Structure 1
Amino acid sequence: MQFGVGMIRRRFLQSLLVCAGAGKVLTACSPPTEPLRFGANAWPGYAPLRLAEASGLISPERLRVLDFPNSSMVLSAFRNGTIDAAGLTLDEALALAASRQPLRIVLVFDVSDGADVIVARPGISALDQLEGCRVGVETEALGAYLIGRALERVSLPLHSVEIVSMPLDRHESAFASGQVDALVTFEPVRSRLLEAGASELFSSREIPGEIVDVLVVREDVLRTRRADLQAAVSAHFEARLALLADPAAAAERLGARLSLDEVALRAALGLIQLPGPEENRRLLGGADAGLAQVLVTMSSRMKSLGLLEGELVLKGMLVADLVEAV
């Protein structure tokens, strides 16, 4: 069969109309969008989203989970646009917001119930003994908030200890070599240091509901990539059920990404709460959203500790739409 020039031209114009959707954006014929880039450290509370990716519960065209050695690098990557979304604690999210980063909180990954701790070398058994000691802290991340809250309990100001800025991936070596007298750290480092003889002085269990890990996204990403974010949130909840039902399979599948074997993963899960969709809706949604007051109280405490500067707009930061749709 032969085609004349006129027929070819008509077929070409028809194909343009199909792609354009009679004047709409050329969505179907555009190059595929890059996957959402989510970044997080090795905290076990982020295991469900990593498991969702590893198990194929979400398409790799929609989401890519990037592993970072510490929270400071996650914060930096969010600021410079290397990632679109991040797993962060509430205090880290507030610090970002105060630095004029337009962000939204769309999911609660977990609530720490003893997994975040202050540990000390043998011979230091109480918080008031930390006065004048060297304390290793990931200063831009949760560590600074936790040490501040702990010292408040014994009426010590933050400047009563020598803060040694230290990323998570150096915690164990610094503790073993005597570079610090104490550390603000979390699972899985917590368990390994306790096995090595460290003593636990303080944990997130003593400030219930304050150490919360959330999914933070850029405001423009929420607006333009809502379908991909919805898929990620739904996959998280599906993988959460799989993780709780069979931690052994999850530990085997995730392998070195979490630095946790089955025993360690089970222990870590015993120290955190993983809220399901209903609890997420309670925490994020409505006028009486559970996290709304936490944000107000936490921002006030961070300012008093010198951890937060600048104007902070909390209204609209919590977004429940995605968890409500699950």
Structure 2
Amino acid sequence: MTRISRRHFVVAASAAVACAAARPARAADTVRIGYIGDFNGASLAAVATDQGLWAAQGLQPDLKVFTNGPIQIQAFGSGSLDFGYVGPGALWLPASGRAKVIAINDLGQADRVIAQAGIRTMTELKGKKVGVPEGTSGDMLLRLALRKQGMSVNDVELIRMDPSTVVAAFASGQIDAAGIWYPLVSVIKERAPDMVELAKNADFFPEIAFPTAFVSRNDVADDRSLKVIAVLKKANAFRAANLDASIAVTSKFIGVAADKLATEAANSKFLTTAELEASAADGTAAGWLSTLNAMFKDFGRLPDPLDPKAYFRADLYQAG
């Protein structure tokens, strides 16, 4: 190479470096994602944040905490949220066409029907005040437990309230019973140590599974959903292999004591990512949703649920 050509090469190379440095970095895709402030609802978001999984997919998460799933799907309707987390009780909303299920999170076992000391059976709730966050897994378990005894919510004085109000109302004796979940049950036990548990998810498993899930707005593009699914799958793999570490990370993320989250985690069935992929591929997950659909119809929540194939993006989960 001649002296002149070398000089031209150096100048051109320097100019290229300068242009690359001046070129603005590609902006991350901001995704607005809802979660619930307990282990099931927050652990994957917490792990993904701790492990730097969002950036690996070119995502900038705008994480928003909610008290339940139905409120998140309401936020879909207003366009203020892209993705969210729901418990089994709120899955009637995707089944009504208001959202898409993009991933199963776990099989929840944390719901309870609890009662004040002295009430020993579900039948003793007849005519009693029962608090429940409407449309949640606590609501579903209450209805299941009543039906098992030949009863319905018409046999009790049903009081609809948000989760934090259930805690306060039960602890102060304003309600006789509640359909609620861990870790809030642990909080209630601290204030009302003589409370009793009348029913739990495990009473109905495996005939009825209680999947929790991640959902998206109907109009979210597939490529964005695929990026979020990829994050969720990697976070789920970490959680399945490192439960104690995930509890510690989530405790810091949501500001709830690790021992309370550990109790909640002990009442959940976590599947590996490979198991979740298999359940999406072989129709097992769709079967869980179909069983819930039948209950939504029986309970009068939804007269004509959609087939899970219409709202569960099993194809995306397998591809993500």
TM bucket (normalised to shorter chain) is 0.7 to 0.9
Aligned twin of 2:279: 283
Return the alpha-carbon distance in structure 2 between the equivalents of residues 171 and 91 of structure 1. 17
Return the alpha-carbon distance in structure 2 between the equivalents of residues 255 and 95 of structure 1. 26
Return the alpha-carbon distance in structure 2 between the equivalents of residues 80 and 33 of structure 1. 23
Q: CA RMSD in A?
A: 2.8
Return the alpha-carbon distance in structure 1 between the equivalents of residues 308 and 268 of structure 2. 26
Aligned twin of 1:87: 85
Give how far 1:192 is off. Answer: 2.3
Say which SS state the counterpart of residue 149 (structure 1) adopts: helix
Contact 1:116–1:185, Cα closer than 8 Å, also in 2: yes
Which structure 2 residues correspond to residues 17-166 of structure 1 after superposition, within 5 A?
32=27, 34-46=29-41, 47-59=43-55, 61-98=59-96, 100-101=97-98, 103-113=99-109, 115-166=110-161
Q: Identity of counterpart residues, as a percentage?
A: 23
Contact 2:132–2:161, Cα closer than 8 Å, also in 1: yes
- 232 and 183 in structure 1: CA distance in 2 versus 1, 3 angstrom threshold: same
Q: Normalising to structure 2: TM-score of the pair? A: 0.81
Task: Return the match for 1:205 from 198, 202, 205.
Answer: 202
Task: Return the match for 2:312 from 305, 309, 318.
Answer: 318
Say which SS state the counterpart of residue 215 (structure 2) adopts: strand
Range moving further from structure 2, 222-231 or 77-86: 222-231
Give how far 1:316 is off. Answer: 3.6
**Amino acid across the alignment from 1:137:** V
Return the alpha-carbon distance in structure 1 between the equivalents of residues 242 and 37 of structure 2. 16
The answer to whether the aligner puts 1:301 opposite 2:295 as a matched pair is: yes
**Amino acid across the alignment from 2:166:** H
Aligned twin of 2:169: 174
Task: Give unpaired runs (5+ residues) of structure 2.
Answer: 1-22
Give how far 1:169 is off. Answer: 1.9
- 251 and 314 in structure 1: CA distance in 2 versus 1, 3 angstrom threshold: closer
Give how far 1:240 is off. Answer: 1.3
Return the alpha-carbon distance in structure 1 between the equivalents of residues 280 and 247 of structure 2. 31
The answer to whether the aligner puts 1:272 opposite 2:268 as a matched pair is: yes
Aligned length: 293
Contact 1:62–1:228, Cα closer than 8 Å, also in 2: no
Contact 1:53–1:64, Cα closer than 8 Å, also in 2: no
**Amino acid across the alignment from 1:231:** A
Return the alpha-carbon distance in structure 1 between the equivalents of residues 61 and 52 of structure 2. 10
> CA deviation digits over 1:104-160, x for unaligned, max 9?
3222111123x1101111111111101101111111322322111110111012200
Higher helix share: 2
